[in-house]
Amino acid sequence: MKLTRLITVTAAGIALAACSSGDINLSPSTNVTDSNNTTNNGAGGSADDVCAFYTKAGQTLQGSADSSGNCTYGSAFVGPKNNLTVDLLIPELPNGGAHIFTSSLFVGETYRTQSELAAAGITKGGDGPTLTIEAGATLAFQTNKDFIIVNRGSRILADGTVDKPITITSVSDINGTVGPEDVQQWGGIVINGFGVSNKCSYTGTRGQAGFALTAATECSIEAEGSAGDDESQYGGDNDADESGILRYVIVKHTGAEVGNGDELNGISFGGVGSATVVENLQVYSTYDDGIEMFGGSVSFTNFVALYVRDDSIDIDEGWNGSISNALVIQSETDGNHCIEADGIGSYSGLNEATKDDFIARGLNSRPTISNLTCIISANINGTHGEGAGWRLREGLWPVINDSMVVSSFGPNDTSDADDNYCLRIESVESHEAAINGDLQLNSVIFACQENQKGTTIADRNATTTIAGEQAFAESAGNQFATIADGTVKNPTSANDADLLLLEGEQSVYSQSWSTSLVDSAAPAATTAPTAGDYLGGAALSDDWFSTWTYGIADTNRGQPLWFEQ
């Protein structure tokens, strides 16, 4: 399929040609204005002056412009042995040019211990350097060993707009040689903060006066991708830490193995604090997880995950932030869980008393997720496992509101009754949370052919038991559509009249409570809807994602969505 590419040819005849593959849309620009309100970045008048630059120890380093309108930055500019230690502005380039990095981009120094951090004066976000990316800018990484790290104390200010989103992708995408669902073209993004992780030792109760790291203990957890020059750490006791802004940002084609062999996520958030702003974020075609939170308290407003091969939303180590308005769409042939959520890191290696202590002191994961739409595929040969809905486990205390899981667009594997489940709840601590009201599902609709994994919900003494996940969810007023094995149903208003969960022909991925139907009956919200009167990720009056994301609207994608009619 030929893709739309928004490219302007300059008066000098410089152009980027449209390609028959690749999927980056580059928006035109007439000039670059940096934070000093100048129209170029360097000191002179050369073509290179549109490129990013910084001055350190009296030396100015700058990218090199080419005839295609791109700027290229070698390892002398930034790299694994050459971390960015001063503030840097990456501007939007004229005529849709891209900033091409031939090496990794690591922001701030790596300090391996709390004492090293203190000696360097790094105690919170803002103490280290800041990477600023202008609205409309495109960054591209050359090899599958390259990735971005934002170290503790440093910040990324990627503040795009609905008309000028920021895109961070691969050079293969820029060159037009990448397929719509290709992954591992580069690593991804790792953001590290000083937030709480239950892999560290604390005194007191989280969120209360006196809570702090235990004296003389270390809280520097190796982040994903850590090895040698790629090393970075996260962790601390400041859940209000700030790592910057991600607003209208699209991250594409990630998941390559880097450093110690880790397959990176789209974005890993290690101990990232609540003062960090994440609004209107998309991860697209990633090999591992879409976003993964390792502790911390960062929250998300308006999140899209498309073609994630592992878990689109992964939670661990005591993350207690929130997600408000989210849309997850798996590939037809790949993708594991919409949500995989663990309450306690390194769970299997801890004894029962330690787990109970963590929960009593608020150190387990306690996320709040509101208005989530998961469209999962009933694939059975996915890269990381079968397509499935929500896996909640290991001392997790979630509250999930006004959401839906839909797996009715294609037939499931009828040889197995529980591989493409909608809902799975595991571990005695999470079972007890469900029984005691600490694990909550409020106003949730499930439309799958395989409703549950089929685990009996029971406390550790088996004094209270519930037959399975479906019985637990239904006891709280949530609903499961009746869909027979092998049946294909389309839950839009133009199709099956007994299952109306998505408004229109996939144009809006939600439905008003007043017009939705499950088994020909209008479902009732069990609690007051948290974001208005709608079920799922986008209010009918606020289609917040279609104009800036990639891969959903037919005017800005490389292929149709697999379930579209």
The per-residue DSSP string of 357-377 comes to HHHHTT-S---EEEEEEEE--
The per-residue pLDDT of the chain, averaged, comes to 89
pLDDT of residue 35: 35
Region 41-50 average pLDDT:
70
Q: Give pLDDT tens digits for 21-45.
A: 455 543 333 333 333 333 345 445 6
Q: Is 466 contained in some domain?
A: no
The reported pTM is 0.92
pLDDT band at residue 497 under the 50/70/90 scheme: confident
* Alpha carbon distances (Å) from 2 to 8, 23, 47, 176, 250: 18, 10, 32, 11, 21
pLDDT at 531 over 80: no
Region 524-551 average pLDDT:
85
Copy the structure tokens of residue 389.
């809905």
The region that residue 285 occupies, defined by phi over 0 for left and psi between -120 and 50 for alpha, beta otherwise, is left
Q: Which residues of 433-469 are buried (b: 16+ CB within 10 A; e: fewer)?
A: bbbeebbbbbbbbbbbbbbbbebebbeeeeeeebebb
pLDDT of residue 13: 30
pLDDT of residue 507: 59
pLDDT of residue 26: 38
Region 58-74 average pLDDT:
96
Query: Do 410 and 434 contact (CB within 8 A), yes or no?
Result: no
pLDDT at 530 over 90: no
Q: Is 333 contained in some domain?
A: yes
Query: Do 131 and 189 contact (CB within 8 A), yes or no?
Result: no
pLDDT of residue 177: 97
Q: Is 126 contained in some domain?
A: yes
Number of domains in the chain: 1
Report residue 452: phi and psi, to 5°: -145, 165
Q: Give pLDDT tens digits for 216-250.
A: 899 999 998 878 778 899 999 999 999 999 999 99
pLDDT of residue 44: 54
Sign of the alpha-carbon dihedral angle for 556, 559, 562, 564: positive
Q: Give pLDDT tens digits for 366-388.
A: 999 999 999 999 999 899 999 99
pLDDT at 19 over 50: no
Provide the 10 A C-beta neighbour count for residue 387: 28
Region 496-504 average pLDDT:
85
Q: Is 552 contained in some domain?
A: no
| Contact partners, residue 323, CB within 8 Å, separation at least 6 | 299, 300, 303, 313, 367, 368, 369, 370, 372
pLDDT band at residue 505 under the 50/70/90 scheme: low
Q: Give pLDDT tens digits for 389-408.
A: 999 999 999 999 999 999 99
pLDDT of residue 11: 28
Query: Do 202 and 213 contact (CB within 8 A), yes or no?
Result: yes
Measure CA 462 to chain center: 37
Q: Is 521 contained in some domain?
A: no
Instruction: Tell me what percent of the residues of the chain surpass a pLDDT of 90.
Output: 77
| Contact partners, residue 46, CB within 8 Å, separation at least 6 | none
Coil, helix or strand for 302?
Answer: strand
Q: Is 302 contained in some domain?
A: yes
pLDDT band at residue 514 under the 50/70/90 scheme: confident
Q: Is 43 contained in some domain?
A: no
pLDDT of residue 541: 67
Query: Do 252 and 170 contact (CB within 8 A), yes or no?
Result: yes
Q: Is 505 contained in some domain?
A: no
Structural domain including 210 reads 77-397+409-431
Region 329-346 average pLDDT:
97
CA end-to-end span of the chain: 17
User: What are the start-end ranges of the H helices in 338-459?
Assistant: 352-360, 428-436
The region that residue 22 occupies, defined by phi over 0 for left and psi between -120 and 50 for alpha, beta otherwise, is left
Give rounded-to-5 percent helix, strand, coil for the chain. 10, 30, 60
